[in-house]
Amino acid sequence: MSATTELPTKEANLLKGHEGAVLAARFNGDGNYALTCGKDRTIRLWNPHRGILIKTYKSHGREVRDVHVTSDNAKFCSCGGDRQVYYWDVSTGRVIRKFRGHDGEVNAVKFNDSSAVVVSAGFDRSLRVWDCRSHSVEPVQVFAPFLRFTIIDTFLDTVMSVVLTKTEIIGGSVDGTVRTFDIRMGREMSDNLGQPVNCISISNDGNCVLAGCLDSTLRLLDRTTGELLQVYKGHISKSFKTDCCLTNSDAHVIGGSEDGMVYFWDLVDAKVVSKFRAHDLVVTSVSYHPKEDCMLTSSVDGTVRVWKK
């Protein structure tokens, strides 16, 4: 079993500090740091390789559901139950701006490549794009409508997850669709999967989208044709938001399960290559290191674990 040995299945570190559920754990761009956020309304910056908590960011009024760092590690954005998207400065820990406008909880945020824009996915069935560049230094914009310049509201239900490429915005929604908004072409491609989409993730070559559906299935779609390439089953994902992702080599598909397990599938033949118990409770998020074989998992049990091979 050479496949399993190259997978990060050994626990390297246990990041403890969050009280209550940890809702997301994300590597930064180069994989040296990790940001986690959770029910305790805080965002924490870690060095996952040494297991050190570096900083705690507090400002959210409700639980924090997602966080994303810019590629230059200078800023990050977060979102959550308080219906706002926060734009933070990493080093000072200050909120640079709050983007208000969502009518419901915000489920996911992402920066674009140039970090000029934050895209957020909300419970209000919309994707919203916020401008980070305008009004340079003012700390908190009061009149957020100024900043909101694009709303994508063709979704029929909560948008759970969003992914950006250089030219596209891809959103996965509970209405069962994965919608790709191609800015360059001015097209919207809607791939209806028939099942609520919980989480989407894009392959590193950019050709496929992995969509975690609430029928305990991960589906791999070809992005150009919309064709269903593969289906991955075995884990449980029925009622909670659990993440899925691909390894950095695109060889395996990783999915968290509601029973605390983490599953590894072979990308091509969809076999379960490895599964192990990562947490006692629901695995809310998995994140894979951009270069090394290292993985982060977060769970409702309040812990974040770092896995290496």
Partner 1 sequence: MGLDEDDFVFHGTPIEREDEIASRKKKAVAGASGTLKTLPAWKQEVTDEEGRRRFHGAFTGGYSAGYYNTVGSKEGWAPQSFTSSRKNRAGARQQSISDFLDEDEKAEMEGQSLAASSQFDTFGFTAAEHSRKQAEKEQHERPSAIPGPVHDELIAPAPESIGVKLLLKMGWRRGHSIKDVRASSDARREARKAFLAFSADENTKESSDSLVLETEAETSLGPQFSEDIKFSETTPVYVLNPKLDLHGLGYDPFKHAPEFRENKRSRLSASKEAGYRKPLSMKESLFGPKSGKMAPGFGIGALEELDVEDEDVYAGYDFDQTYVIEDEQPARPSNDNRLRLTSKEHNVLPGFGAASNSDYSVERFDPPKIPKDFVARHKFSGPRETETKPTASTPPDVPPPEDKNLKLLIDGFATFVSRCGKLYEDLSREKNESNQLFDFLRGGSGHDYYARRLWEEQQKRSGQSNLQLDVKVPPSVQKMTAETRGSLLGERPLQKSLKETETSSSSGGSFQFPTNLSDTFTKSASSQEAADAIKPFKEDLAKQERFEQFLKEKYKGGLRSSDSNRFNIVSESARAQERLDFEAAAEAIEKGKAYKEVRRATERPIDFLAGGLQFTSGGTEQIKDTGVVDMKTSKTYPKREEFQWRPAPLLCKRFDLPDPFMGKPAAAPRARNKMDSLLFLPDTVKAASGSGARQVSDLQEPEKEPEVEVEVENVERPVDLYKAIFSDDSEDDEEQQPMNGKIQDGQEKKNEAAATTLNRLIAGDFLESLGKELGFEVPSDAPYPEGTKPMEAENKAKGKPDASSERRPGLKEKPEEKTSSLKPVSEEEKSTQKREKSPRNWSGGNDLYSSESSGDERRRKRSKKDRHRNYDSESDSSSDYHKRDKHSSRSRRKQRESSREKRSGHKKHSKHYKTKDSSSSRYSGDEERKESKREKRRRRD
Q: Which residue ranges make up the site for partner 1 (CB under 8 A)?
A: 19-21, 39-41, 61-63, 81, 103-105, 112, 114, 116-117, 123-126, 129, 131, 133-134, 143, 145-146, 149-154, 156-157, 166-167, 174-176, 181-196, 219, 221, 225-228, 239-240, 281-282, 300-302
Show the tokens assigned to 164.
Answer: 């950006």
| Nearer to partner 1 (CB atom), residue 95 or residue 159 | 159
Inter-CA distances, 264 with 68, 249, 270, Å = 24, 13, 9
Least distance CB 289 / partner 1 (angstroms): 27
| Nearer to partner 1 (CB atom), residue 89 or residue 131 | 131
| Nearer to partner 1 (CB atom), residue 14 or residue 228 | 228
| Nearer to partner 1 (CB atom), residue 64 or residue 95 | 64
Show the tokens assigned to 34.
Answer: 């990790």
164-199 in b/e form (b: 16+ CB < 10 A) is: beeebbbbbbbbbbbbbbeeeeeeebbbebebbbbb
Measured in degrees and rounded to the nearest 5, phi and psi for residue 3 equal -65, -40
How far, in Å, CA of 236 to CA of 153, rounded?
30
Residue appearing with tokens 């009518």:
103
Least distance CB 8 / partner 1 (angstroms): 25
Residue type, 215: D
| Nearer to partner 1 (CB atom), residue 27 or residue 130 | 130
Least distance CB 178 / partner 1 (angstroms): 8
Least distance CB 58 / partner 1 (angstroms): 12
The answer to whether 106 and 83 have CB atoms below 8 angstroms apart is yes
Least distance CB 162 / partner 1 (angstroms): 14
| Nearer to partner 1 (CB atom), residue 9 or residue 78 | 78
Neighbours of 105 (CB within 10 A): 18
| Nearer to partner 1 (CB atom), residue 114 or residue 204 | 114
Residue type, 159: V
Least distance CB 293 / partner 1 (angstroms): 30
| Nearer to partner 1 (CB atom), residue 39 or residue 98 | 39
Inter-CA distances, 138 with 97, 115, 134, 135, Å = 8, 18, 10, 6
Residue appearing with tokens 């896995």:
307
Residue type, 306: V
How far, in Å, CA of 212 to CA of 142, rounded?
36
Least distance CB 71 / partner 1 (angstroms): 14
Least distance CB 2 / partner 1 (angstroms): 33
